[in-house]
Chain A
Amino acid sequence: MHHLGKSSRVLFSAIVVVVLCGPLTGCFDLVELEDQAFVPAIGLDKGPNGTMFLTARIDIPGKLASSGGGGGSDVKELGGAKPITVQARSIPEALTLLNTAVERRISLTHLSAVVFGQDLAKDGTIAVLRPMTRYREFRRTVFLFVAKGSAKDVFDNNKPILEKSVTRYVEDFQQISRDYSMAPIVQFQNFLVNIETKTEDPIAPIIAVNQSVVKGSKEKGGGDKDTQGGGGEEGGAKQGGLPKSTDISYVAGKISRSGGNPDEYIGAAIFRADKLKTILDGQQTRYLLMVRGEFGGSMIHFPDAQQKGKYVNVILRQSTGPDIDVDVHSKPVAVHIRMPLEAEIIGEDSTTNYVDARNVRRLEQSMERDIEASTRQLVTEVLHKEQADPFELFRHARALFPTHQALEAYDWHSKLKQVKVDVKATVKLRRIGTQLQPPQT
């Protein structure tokens, strides 16, 4: 173009720009938002004869928008529509079949949660995980859950109190987990890394249907259609009445309550490789998370060391990650877990004065004993009985091996049955809330 004059160059450039405007308006991959059906959550259940059931929620943006961002009363279902279930041999086949009943192209680009049914998880998840690692619409940041029972039940009974958007609902769980540590936060990447690293095993949060809430709401409200569907506080009020159970429970699906969402989010599924082995309750999950160094904090009650039958409520936090030492040379293998924790008193039944340093120390020691015993029991039980390492204990021993081959030859899982567990918790009571001494009568 060097021989062209200035005006010719301007003209040439203008022609190029005008010509390019045409083809640059779109491309082969142009897909309008209105042409897609976004699936924010799927549930996977075991089917007969090697098949599976895929339950999908489809977001209906129009309905969500009309609900005013989360508080509308016209939307009865999470996401705006009832879940759809199809039977297939694989996820890709299920998506294809799903599109026979959905008029827009199914898109997983907004997928935020995958729920495994209990039976499928017991049989092994790797077969369904494989398409998720390959297919580009799945992201490794998707959150995983295990349904106690079937995933379809969990989907059908899910009637959140506040949220209408599935994605918001799933994101809320992450905050709840960080604040209360009653269930782990597990993304697909964490799960896969645990499975592929042969010396550790994955975990997943549990989501379960509380049948007493379902039953209660049907008795009180004459069916879930009227009582639970997105009515917010209205639904909760109608489901009133005291729970009938006699004791407190931290077991998923068994929490003593009435009203609210029939689905409960508490506990952890423990896997051995890709197979579900056991389910921990909410209290055990706290100790599991403490050992993994993922304990964000929680309100916990401990027996008052001074007054029998009374309790002290504290907010417990992990001050730093646990210090774990695996002695691979001892026989049996010994695991030493040291957990530094910090506490803040937020309430008590008793009249004990926790300004007094001796009382503080007694409480700290009492909490330490309690945490040590519970953690030791949990770790020992899971290692010995399930021969699984969901605590990621062996990560702390990796540096002891010179090569990957030596590490794999060690066969950590074969040693788990005899592992000797030693737990040392150090609790430091940092604060006592907004009151120096408890009110007296």
Chain B
Amino acid sequence: MIKIATGEIGRRELLAMLVIYTASDVFLSYPQFIAEIAGESAWMIPLVSTFFLLVVFVAVWKFMPIVHDKGIVEMGNDAFGSLIGGILSLSYTGLFAWKAASVSRQFTETIVTTVLPRTPVSIITLCVMAVAAYFAYVGLEGLSRMSLIAGTCVFVSIIVLVALASPWGRGEFLFPLWGNGISSILRGSVMGTSAFFNLLLLLIVYPALQQHKRGTVRWTGFWALAITGIIFTGVELVFVMVFPNNASNKTPFPLYQLSRLIYFGRFFQRLESLFIFFWVASAVLKLSISIWAASYTFAQTFRMPVYRPIVAPMTLIVYSLGFMAPDFMTALRWDTNFIERYGWIIVVVIPSIVLVVDYFRTRKRRTGGGGSGASPREELKGAV
């Protein structure tokens, strides 16, 4: 039996973490957001977004580090210097913190609206935050293992939910094929990439991947993207078939609504309570990973030896940010107007640029410094 060293994560755990982090958006407003943009063709958005991202992923494939232990923060510092690199790193911290705040607010508001109407929102948030902060404190290894365990259950629950709600769907509602137009699909697909934190998260956590698994990190990233895209597309297909255009954009909690529609006669109905369990699990995981990533990148930016002291203040900041929006509608609007609309710049564009620039800078330095001149990939081949 291979002993997993503390602080290291396995390939399956990494894959699960990348998928669950991104795919848990199906429980929130992502399906409604893209349905509002593209109408009947909303299911194409995750497909095209995934395609865009896979193209980007393959394009930067060569530049992805697989031998050294530099995360995206260090790469940014090496590529652009401490000042610009630091600003870029703080943008990751800010995005993760904002995402955590947005998830916590949306999640708690959804809980209050749907299942616990009399419970004060602060109590729900405190409970969720306490668990998320503990998970973030425990660290990457615990988070990734929980992602594998809970992620598998969540994945199965999504498939079951979608299958049980699908009898309500009508294939005709997938037409007109181009929905609100091809330009809407393309616009939505670019904005839709904001939901895919896979690449950014991969570049943050991969140094923790077990040494002998480093060679597979790129395929892990590739499959994480593909699986996330398939989950988004499958859920969106059923959502659009069940809630046609004009109705789909008015449903703030799409998966919850789908679960409430499950009705197979006298005994098989009112199953949403079952799905809420998995939904809570995925939301807590997403929140935990966000708080961990925000604390970790912040600690790295300021060259701190540990990140754990940052977790508590970061959780407090996330809590405060979450309650900055005076109401649920504003929270949703902020999420749509900022994270969904511009998030792709931070989750896709900046990491890709950092990767490419760092690759050439490192190579130049090694060549100039009398190194072998071989690319990191070639070095790995030599090592293996």
Contacts and interface: CB of A to CB of B under 8 A. Distances in A.
B172 A27 contact: no
A29 B119 contact: yes
B261 A28 contact: no
A366 interface: no
B313 interface: no
A197 B173 CA distance: 9
B119 A139 contact: no
Interface string B168-212: 101011011111110000000000000000000000000000000
Contact of A140 (B170, B257, B265): B257
Contacts of B180: 403-405
B294 to A, nearest CB: 24
A33 interface: no
A198 interface: yes
Contact of B247 (A28, A193, A395, A407): A193
B39 A404 contact: yes
A154 to B, nearest CB: 23
B343 interface: no
Contact of A197 (B117, B244, B265): B244
A402 B247 contact: no
A430 interface: no
Nearest to B39: A404
Contacts of A404: 39-40, 176, 179-180, 245
26 contacts: A28-B118, A28-B123, A29-B118, A29-B119, A133-B250, A136-B113, A136-B114, A139-B270, A140-B257, A140-B260, A141-B261, A141-B269, A171-B265, A187-B263, A192-B247, A193-B243, A193-B244, A197-B244, A197-B245, A398-B172, A398-B173, A398-B176, A402-B178, A404-B40, A404-B176, A407-B176
A9 to B, nearest CB: 15
B176 A28 contact: no
A144 B120 CA distance: 34
B261 A140 contact: yes
Given A141-B269, A398-B172, A198 B263 contact: no
Contacts of A395: 170, 172
B117 A29 contact: yes
Interface of B: 39-40, 113-120, 123, 168, 170, 172-173, 175-181, 242-247, 250, 257, 260-261, 263, 265-266, 269-270
Given A193-B247, A403-B179, A405-B181, A28 B263 contact: no
A403 B180 CA distance: 6
B263 A398 contact: no
Contact of A406 (B173, B176, B246): B176
Given A141-B269, A171-B266, A402-B177, A136 B39 contact: no
Contacts of B247: 192-193, 196-197
B255 to A, nearest CB: 14
Which 4 pairs show the lowest CB-CB distances between chains A and B? A28-B119, A398-B175, A399-B175, A395-B172
Contacts of B40: 404
A198 B40 CA distance: 14
A86 B115 CA distance: 28
A313 interface: no
A12 interface: no
A272 to B, nearest CB: 17
B179 A139 contact: no
Contact of B116 (A29, A197, A398, A407): A29
Interface in A191-230: 192-193, 196-198
A396 B172 contact: yes
B258 to A, nearest CB: 10
Contacts of B116: 27-29
Interface residues on A, range: 20 to 34
Contacts of B114: 136
A398 B39 CA distance: 13
A196 B251 CA distance: 13
B111 to A, nearest CB: 10
Interface in A398-439: 398-399, 401-407
Contacts of A187: 263
Contacts of B173: 197, 398
Contacts of B265: 171
Nearest to B256: A136
Contacts of A141: 260-261, 263, 269
Nearest to A407: B176
A229 to B, nearest CB: 25
A29 B244 CA distance: 34
A401 B177 CA distance: 8
Interface string A13-33: 000000000000001110000
A139 B260 contact: yes
Contacts of A405: 180-181
Nearest to A137: B117
A75 B371 CA distance: 93
B136 to A, nearest CB: 16
A192 B261 CA distance: 13
Nearest to A188: B261
A198 B39 CA distance: 14
A192 B181 CA distance: 25
Interface string A369-410: 000000000000000000000000001101101111111000
A193 B243 CA distance: 7
A402 B185 CA distance: 13
Nearest to B179: A404
Contacts of A133: 250
A196 B175 CA distance: 15
A189 interface: yes
B261 A189 contact: yes
Nearest to B251: A133
A141 B263 CA distance: 7
B178 A27 contact: no
A29 B118 CA distance: 5
Contacts of A402: 176-178
Contacts of A407: 176
Contacts of B118: 28-29
Given A197-B173, A399-B176, 12 more contacts: A28-B120, A29-B116, A136-B113, A140-B257, A187-B263, A189-B168, A189-B261, A192-B247, A399-B172, A401-B176, A402-B176, A403-B180
Nearest to A142: B263
Contacts of A196: 244, 246-247
